[in-house]
Amino acid sequence: MNKNSINKGFRFWLAFYAGRFSVFLCRLFRLSGTSLPGAVALRICPQLLFYLASAYEKIIAVTGTNGKTTTTNLITYYLRQAGVPVIGNGEGANMITGVVTALIKDCNFFGAAQSRTVVLEVDEGSVGKILPAVKPDLIVVTNYFRDQLDRYSELDHIITLLRNTIDGLPETELLLNADDPLVVAVGRGRPAVRYYGVEVEKDCKEPEKNEIREGGFCPECGELLVYNYYHYGQLGDYRCTKCSFKRPEADFVALDVDDSDLLHFTLHVQNKNSSIDLHSQLRGFYNVYNILAASAAALIISIPEQSIEASLPDYSTATGRLEQFIYHGRLCTLALIKNPIGVNEVMKTILPQEGKKAFLIAINDLAGDGKDVSWLWDADFEKLNHPMISKVVCSGRRAAEMAVRLKYAGLATSKIVLEPGCRESLDVLGLQQVDQYYILASYTSLFNYAKLLRKMGKAVAKDADQGLPSLS
Amino acid sequence: MRIRVCHLYPDVLNLYGDRGNLLVFHRRAQWRGIELDVDQFLLGDRGDFSSYDFIFMGGGADSRRTLLLKNLEIIAPYIVDAVEKGTVLLAIGLGFQLLGRYIKTEDGDVMVGAGVFDAYTEMDSSRSVGDILLEATADLQEELKKAGNMDITTLIGFENHSGRTYLGEQGKALGRVIKGKGNNGKDRTEGAYYKNAFGTFLHGPVLAKNPHFADLLLVKALSPQEEISLEPLDDSLEILAHNTMKKRLIR
């Protein structure tokens, strides 16, 4: 899709240099500057993204509710390891301003792009603005769960938005999660769709009783869906009881998943009938989907199987994705939490770990977190009512509401400590005589805890070269 | 003591943490030695509601409205009957709208509701989203104070609804909006109540953010006719959470 011949005009250059100058100013004043330069430039030239994106040979976009950052970062990492010059908005700004900022930064002083390929994480509410402008070659959709309903109102709106957006992009190829009926609904009737999915030997995995579940209804006819098994949330092997809608056959299949500790599974590529053995430093069943999606995307854009197999073991996690620190001489795991399914999966991953535990849960309600914190009641915090958990420190702007949630989850009030301050709550956590610390933090508080932990403790195996401390 | 609860359409009406309301109701009963039996009433189920003390309906996606109304049509007379006899009912968001007289869609179609509340909804492109604070309607203030033993007459929640809901001549609001939009963003009314039935747009869940309201429902479910008093609980955390938000909202 190289459209270098496009005449960019005066407005483009004015916007471009205004953006460049803003990047310079942000650096000068030590602001993070992942969105502001783009916002400035877009004011001057609203079509800027279209022009900037036209310089690249290949554009991959990742959207969905959970797993966008890990999937985006891993695709970027695979490309880089394979020697492909690649740029992305891995700094966590996944709205149009962040995408534009990332692309401005990739240009040299004369406005020429330095990379050939772009991997973009796209906020699910921003797909209507970003995708038509960049015209991706490939769109990866991870999953749809309830998240930030203060911004998106209802999940249906978000799915309809993507569906309507891709109607205007007939040439774009889709890579969809076969296990999520809500995602599969996005690709209905399109020619170039490929699917990835996890297959299990056991034919019946009972759904978790307390788990909140989306969908459940057929996107074709509205009838109830029935499941052979569930992985988590509404992900699983489903079919409609009335029409022919069912989980599509996956082109990229995860088999023999071992999620007891560091992840390990086999990726089977159906059309080639080949298999790759994947070992990762990541934990948590939900990361199987992220690795699977990223590996499938890399294969689609012709990254060799051997390169994927060889580079995955060295990929480590981004900020707050079960990132590990040593704090007060103990292992301290930091995890971003932002929606019920995300919390449930994080808890499922860490709770089986051995030893006595103390938790810190930081809940803010700023725009980046979601202003409505009612989602805390859709998450299965009942799991923290556990004899090996001795204390839970609640902090953030909604510390008291988090404490109330835990009280009703059945935790003794003697186990709940209320300490809204960031530094102070970390001090209280450090007093707990346990084997491991866990910090679950909403988006806007995550950075503060990561920063403090680096200062007061030390990071374990920090991601050295991918350098993509992204957040949403 | 035992309270029989009917959770209406939990398979569809389960947005914004609303199921937390039943958890709060359950715990607050349990802490006082009161047992709870909860029946789930799913789409397609039939039956009457005369054996229940408390009927709960959560919020849901607007796209499920037609499906819900089709199901509700059949059971509506039984719900109305139960409410007339004093059964306690709490309906949130879409649940509340469905129990009004009608919902007029953006295309002008009129969909008949269950008619529990003298209220009607006109859908338009407006959406009310944000924290909301109410002063409970005068008649309810005394009851709230007595039931909850907490001397709180405000209600707090997070509203997230589309369209505008208006009360009819007989309709009584749950409260007056101090901060937020409420039923329609115009007349400062929020929610509705009739006998022991309450409708509201407050999510949060509303009973978690307002333990005094939870206790009022509990009192009424135990004894619809006469006033009784509940054993007081240590509600310091709940009250702190309520007051922290209240302070932020009136600042």
Could you give the percent of chain A with pLDDT greater than 90? 59
Give the pLDDT band of residue A200 (cuts 50, 70, 90).
confident
Give the pLDDT band of residue A212 (cuts 50, 70, 90).
low
Residue A471 falls within a domain, yes or no? no
Q: Per-residue pLDDT averaged across B78-107, rounded?
A: 95
User: How many domains is chain A built from?
Assistant: 2
Separation between Cα atoms, residue A16 and residue A89, nearest integer Å: 17
pLDDT at A201 over 70: no
Q: Say whether both A379 and A256 belong to one domain.
A: no
Separation between Cα atoms, residue A216 and residue A232, nearest integer Å: 13
Asked if A248 contacts A313 with a C-beta cutoff of 8 angstroms, the reply is no
List C-alpha distances in Å: A171 to A127, A128, A191. Answer: 16, 16, 9
Q: Say whether both A271 and A137 belong to one domain.
A: yes
Asked if A374's CB is within 8 angstroms of B204's CB, the reply is yes
By C-alpha distance, the chain B residue nearest A154 is: B61
Helix axes B138-148, B211-222, angle to 10 degrees: 90
Q: Say whether both A420 and A333 belong to one domain.
A: yes
Residue A150: the pLDDT is 66
Which among B17, B18, B129 is the nearest to A376, CB-wise?
B17
Q: Say whether both A325 and A296 belong to one domain.
A: no
- A-to-B residue pairs, Cβ atoms closer than 8 angstroms: 84
Q: What is the 8-class DSSP label of residue A62?
A: E
Instruction: Assign B100 to helix, strand or coil.
Output: coil
Whose tokens are 């937020």? That residue is B180
Residue A92 falls within a domain, yes or no? yes
Separation between Cα atoms, residue B99 and residue B93, nearest integer Å: 10
Tens of pLDDT, residue by residue over A294-317, are 999 999 999 999 999 999 998 987
Asked if A261 contacts A248 with a C-beta cutoff of 8 angstroms, the reply is no
Q: Say whether both A13 and A93 belong to one domain.
A: yes
Q: Which residues of B touch A414 (CB under 8 A)?
A: none
Separation between Cα atoms, residue A135 and residue A59, nearest integer Å: 8
Among candidate residues A142, A144, A5, the one with its CA nearest the CA of residue A60? A142
Instruction: Assign A43 to helix, strand or coil.
Output: helix
Expressed as residue numbers, the domain containing B107 is 2-250
Residue A222: the pLDDT is 79
Tens of pLDDT, residue by residue over B72-86, are 988 999 999 999 999
Partner residues linked to B165 by β-bridges: B121
Which among A216, A373, A378 is the nearest to B11, CB-wise?
A216
Residue A23 falls within a domain, yes or no? yes
Q: Which residues of B touch A233 (CB under 8 A)?
A: none
Q: Say whether both A167 and A279 belong to one domain.
A: yes
- Tell the burial category of B50 from Cβ atoms under 10 Å away from its Cβ (0-12, 13-18, 19+): exposed
pLDDT at A78 over 80: yes
Asked if B205's CB is within 8 angstroms of A400's CB, the reply is no
Asked if B200 contacts B189 with a C-beta cutoff of 8 angstroms, the reply is no
Give the pLDDT band of residue A211 (cuts 50, 70, 90).
low
Up-side HSE of residue A438: CA atoms within 13 Å toward CB? 28
CATH of the domain at A38: 3.40.1190.10
Residue A466 falls within a domain, yes or no? no
Tokens of A62: 């990742």
- Tell the burial category of A273 from Cβ atoms under 10 Å away from its Cβ (0-12, 13-18, 19+): exposed
By C-alpha distance, the chain A residue nearest B27 is: A408
Q: What is the ipTM of this complex?
A: 0.96
Instruction: Assign A259 to helix, strand or coil.
Output: coil
Up-side HSE of residue A336: CA atoms within 13 Å toward CB? 23
A314 touches chain B (CB under 8 A): no
Flag the least confident range among A41-45, A359-363, B90-94, B212-216: A41-45
Tens of pLDDT, residue by residue over A343-399, are 998 998 899 888 999 999 999 998 888 889 999 999 999 999 999 999 999 999 999
Asked if A280 contacts A313 with a C-beta cutoff of 8 angstroms, the reply is yes
Phi (first) and psi of residue B156, to 5 degrees: -125, 150
Tokens of B60: 């849901």
Helical H segments across chain B, by residue range = 20-30, 65-84, 94-98, 138-148, 206-209, 211-222, 236-250
How long is chain A?
Answer: 472
Asked if A408's CB is within 8 angstroms of B208's CB, the reply is yes
Among candidate residues A214, A229, A181, the one with its CA nearest the CA of residue A339? A214
Q: Say whether both A192 and A338 belong to one domain.
A: no
Q: Say whether both A291 and A333 belong to one domain.
A: no
A372 is catalytic: yes
Residue A291: the pLDDT is 97
Residue A32: the pLDDT is 77
A380 touches chain B (CB under 8 A): no
Q: Which residue has the higher pLDDT, B68 or B91?
A: B91
Per-residue burial over A194-226, b if 16 or more Cβ lie within 10 Å, else e, is: bbbbbbbeeeeeeeeeebbbbbebbbeeeeebe
- E-only strand ranges, A340-471: 357-362, 389-395, 416-418, 436-441, 458-459
Q: At a CB cut-off of 8 Å and minimum separation 6, what does A328 contact?
A: A430, A437, A457
Q: Say whether both A17 and A65 belong to one domain.
A: yes
A403 touches chain B (CB under 8 A): yes
Give the pLDDT band of residue A464 (cuts 50, 70, 90).
very low
Q: At a CB cut-off of 8 Å and minimum separation 6, what does A83 contact?
A: none
Asked if B192 contacts B118 with a C-beta cutoff of 8 angstroms, the reply is yes
Residue A4 falls within a domain, yes or no? no
By C-alpha distance, the chain B residue nearest A416 is: B237
What's the pTM? 0.82
Break chain B down into helix, strand, coil percent, rounded to 5: 30, 30, 35
Expressed as residue numbers, the domain containing A35 is 9-314
Partner residues linked to A139 by β-bridges: A61, A174
User: How many domains is chain B built from?
Assistant: 1
CATH of the domain at B15: 3.40.50.880
Residue A15 falls within a domain, yes or no? yes
Which among A149, A222, A377 is the nearest to B19, CB-wise?
A377
CATH of the domain at A443: 3.90.190.20
Minimal C-alpha gap between A400 and chain B (Å): 5
Q: Say whether both A250 and A386 belong to one domain.
A: no
List C-alpha distances in Å: A164 to A127, B55, B65. Answer: 10, 39, 22
Q: Say whether both A111 and A65 belong to one domain.
A: yes
Asked if A404's CB is within 8 angstroms of B241's CB, the reply is yes
Separation between Cα atoms, residue A380 and residue A442, nearest integer Å: 16
Residue A429: the pLDDT is 97
pLDDT at A465 over 60: no
Asked if A154's CB is within 8 angstroms of B237's CB, the reply is no
Residue A6: the pLDDT is 63
Residue A91: the pLDDT is 66
A216 touches chain B (CB under 8 A): yes
Asked if B36 contacts B56 with a C-beta cutoff of 8 angstroms, the reply is no
Residue B11: the pLDDT is 84
Q: Say whether both A283 and A397 belong to one domain.
A: no
Q: Which residue has the higher pLDDT, A464 or A431?
A: A431
By C-alpha distance, the chain A residue nearest B208 is: A404
Q: Per-residue pLDDT averaged across B3-19, rounded?
A: 90
Q: Per-residue pLDDT averaged across A171-181, rounded?
A: 96
A408 touches chain B (CB under 8 A): yes
Flag the least confident range among A167-181, A190-204, A329-343: A190-204
Residue A3: the pLDDT is 45
Phi (first) and psi of residue A339, to 5 degrees: -155, 165
Flag the least confident range among A12-16, A243-247, A461-465, B203-207: A461-465
Among candidate residues B25, B158, B46, B12, the one with its CA nearest the CA of residue B90? B25
* Catalytic residue (choose from A156, A258, A372, A465): A372
By C-alpha distance, the chain A residue nearest B235 is: A404
How long is chain B?
Answer: 251
Q: At a CB cut-off of 8 Å and minimum separation 6, what does B207 contact?
A: B20, B21, B24, B25, B90, B213, B214, B217
- Which of B11, B16, B62 should one mutate to test binding to chain A, selecting the residue with the greatest count of A CBs within 10 A? B16
Residue A469: the pLDDT is 38
